[in-house]
Amino acid sequence: MVNLIKSGAVVAALLFAYWLGLINGKNSEELKHARLEISTLTKTIQEFKTKQTSDAVALSELRVAESRARDESEWMRNQLSELERRAKSDADRRCLRFQQLAVEKEELLNEAERGLEYCYKNHR
């Protein structure tokens, strides 16, 4: 009877040890998988941060270029206003109108070029 109890205790201890080993093995695999996912997500976050920084720099450059272009356009408009005040004949006024149209064309062209450059640079 005592031997039977001892044998039962040994078998129970073996089964318990086997069960603990199995649980630890599953936890170990899950831990490895979780670490792999964390590593992948960390790399993805880093890529997005890099892209966000790149976009912010590009947008900043675009704003600076736009500001310069606005200043240049304003200067051209002021020059045209001055010339318009000095215009005496109808032919002079027509020439100024064509110059104004050229300034507007230049503004639109610059705006389109800046927009396209930003798109090409950041959204390939």
Phi, psi of 123 (to 5 degrees): -135, 60
Residue-wise pLDDT for 65-116, tens only, equals 889 888 888 888 788 777 777 777 777 777 878 888 888 888 888 888 888 8
pLDDT reported for residue 42: 94
pLDDT reported for residue 124: 61
DSSP designation for 89: S
Evaluate whether 75 touches 105 at the Cβ level (below 8 Å).
no
Cα dihedral 66, 112, 96, 68 in deg (nearest 10):
10
- Which of 10-19, 34-43, 57-66 has the lowest average pLDDT? 10-19
Tell me how far apart the alpha carbons of residues 47 and 120 are, in angstroms, rounded to a whole number. 19
Q: Quote the number of domains for the chain.
A: 1
Q: Residue 108's domain spans which residues? A: 2-122
**Residue 108 identity:** L
Tell me how far apart the alpha carbons of residues 124 and 121 are, in angstroms, rounded to a whole number. 7
Residue-wise pLDDT for 17-55, tens only, equals 877 777 777 777 777 788 899 999 999 999 999 999 988
Residue whose entry in the numeric block shows the structure tokens 């100024």: 96
